Amino acid sequence: MAGSPASNCSNTLVDHVILDLDGTLIDTETLLDEVYAKIVWKYGKKWEWDGIGLIKRLGKRPLEVAASLVEDYELPCTADELLEESLSHVETMWSRAKALPGATRLLKHLRAHKIPIGLASNSPAKNIRSKLAYQPGWLESFKVIVAGDEVKEGKPSPEIYLEAAKLLKARPSSCLVIEDSPTGVIAGKAAGMKVVAVPSIPSKIARTLYSGADSVLNSLLDFRPELWGLPPFQDWVGKALPIEPWCLGGPVIKGFGRGSKVLGIPTANLPTAALGSQLSQHVCGIYLGWAGLSNRGVYKIVMSVGWNPFFDNAAKTVEPWLLHDFPDDFYGEELRLIVVGYIRPEANFSSLELLIERIHEDAEIAKAALDLLPFSSYQDDKFLTTPLAKQ
């Protein structure tokens, strides 16, 4: 069954890994969105972060994206003009492209175990160099790099992956490709390689585009090397994975009004528009961390980040459940969150009861893990308790 890692058996063992760059290891998507947000704002319109537009733009070529933006935001320019303007901004921005969650961890792990790594990217060699220059330790991690302008045909042709395998002196069948785009998945499969897809947009629509992949993951955080014959990660602490901590905050606002409190799972919602690109940088999933509530204290949290597949929401939100019984609501109060660990990807469930049961399991995992290092150390972070003006 495609997409089921459990079906892997000895014939899927690999000893080389070939990685895509944009959207797989670094977040050029958010950078482009920042550029579009700026241009749209210049025309007096407000950019919608992580709305349905994100799904509409998936897998489209740059000019098609520009055309759909001109239409959706009713911009007084042509698609060509918009594309040209966005490209002029983006050329100077590669240094701001951030490593995607789990990317540096994956490279370090493979390198530590002497698994040869190739990079196969459709972008020109010059751009690859600029992008890698800002990621410490990355360039040295790749044994070979093949750029889009170093082959006759880019992805979806298998040429770029075959060339990488040749330079690695590896049989294609012993190579594992990790890719975020449907065209890249096609290229990797056409090269006769195993392909793990990590779609940059987690949606039901997107998933059907990746049916050719051997496995489809929510993000690199969910990659299990041992299923492909590679050494396993050993950095999980119990059932939680330590991540680079991230902070967010704001006044508690009304959420979806689904009466989650009635279900025993109240989630304190933050105004996501104000978080801007901060939210799109983090992969959807269930996390643990600490919350600071002004005048009340610091509490453990378990939270979901994403589109809540069970409810099929139209926008990405954060849903933190503070693991404490409060006698009253705290709408309007300043809430600070430090997210320190990852538990699992978002899932869909066949019934509300099963969703609730799973959320309670998540809460137990979070409660236990937050007593352990490194998670426990963040409860003293000043960000949780410092009033806004003093920061």
Active site residue 27: no
Helix or strand or coil: residue 120?
strand
Shortest Å, Cβ 164 to ligand RBF: 36
Of residues 152 and 254, the one with the C-beta less far from Mg ion: 254
DSSP string, 270-289: --HHHHTHHHHTSPSEEEEE
Say which of 22, 163, 180, 222 is annotated catalytic.
22
Residue 346 falls in the annotated catalytic set: no
Q: Which is nearer to ligand ADP, 93 or 315 (CB)?
A: 315
Among 2, 63, 347, 388, binds ligand RBF (CB under 6 A): 347
**Residue 252 binding result from ligand RBF, Mg ion, ligand ADP, none, given CB thresholds of 5 to 8 Å by partner type:** ligand ADP
Q: Is 309 in the site for ligand RBF (CB under 6 A)?
A: yes
Q: How far is the CB of 336 from ligand ADP (least distance, A)?
A: 14
Given the complex with ligand RBF, which of 31 and 221 has the nearer CB atom?
A: 221
- Give the integer Cα–Cα distance in Å for 117 and 145: 9
Instruction: Decide if 75 contacts 42 (C-beta within 8 A).
Output: no
Which residue, 134 or 330, has its beta carbon nearer to Mg ion? 330
Compute CA distances 327 → 65, 97, 324, 330, 384, whole Å. 49, 44, 10, 10, 21
Task: Decide whether 134 or 310 has the Cβ nearer to ligand RBF.
Answer: 310
What secondary structure letter does DSSP report for 253?
B
Distance between CA atoms of 2 and 214, rounded to whole angstroms? 5
CB of 36 to ligand RBF, least distance (A): 28
Q: Which residue is nearest to Mg ion (CB)?
A: 255
Question: Are the C-beta atoms of residues 14 and 123 closer than 8 Å to each other?
Answer: no
Q: Give the relative orientation of helices 62-72 and 79-90 as an angle to the nearest 10 degrees.
A: 120
- Name the residue with tokens 């680079």: 244
Return the structure tokens found at 308: 């809540």
Which part of the chain contacts ligand RBF (CB under 6 A), choosing from 138-146, 170-178, 207-215, 304-312?
A: 304-312
Q: Provide the token pair at 140.
A: 């040295």
Binding partner selected for residue 308 from ligand ADP, Mg ion, ligand RBF, none, CB under the kind-specific 5 to 8 Å limit: ligand RBF
Amino acid at position 168, single letter: L
User: By CB under 5 A, is residue 269 in contact with Mg ion?
Assistant: yes
The kind and range of the H/E element at 163 are helix 159-168
Which residues lie near ligand ADP (CB under 6 A)? Answer: 252, 254-261, 266-269, 321-322, 324, 326, 329-331
* Marked catalytic residue, from 27, 214, 222, 319: 319
- Closest to ligand RBF by CB, 236 or 311: 311
Q: Does 204 bind ligand RBF (CB under 6 A)?
A: no
Q: Report how far residue 151's alpha carbon sits from residue 332's, in angstroms, rounded to the nearest whole number.
A: 56
- What SS3 class is residue 117? strand
Q: How far apart are CA 102 and CA 219, in angstroms?
A: 8
CB of 352 to ligand RBF, least distance (A): 9
Q: Which amino acid is at 135?
A: Q
CA distances from 119 to 138, 168, 187, 255, 279 (A): 10, 11, 14, 42, 27
Question: Is there a catalytic annotation at residue 319?
Answer: yes
- The answer to the question of residue 230 lying near ligand RBF (CB under 6 A) is no
Considering only 267, 272, 280, 317, the residue that binds Mg ion (CB under 5 A) is 267
Asked if 252 touches ligand RBF (CB under 6 A), the answer is no
Backbone dihedral angles phi then psi of residue 237, each to the nearest 5 degrees? -110, 105
Active site residues: 20, 22, 319
Residues that bind Mg ion (CB under 5 A): 255, 267, 269
Binding site for ligand RBF (CB under 6 A): 255-256, 258, 260, 265, 267, 286, 302-304, 308-311, 319, 321, 346-347, 355, 359, 362
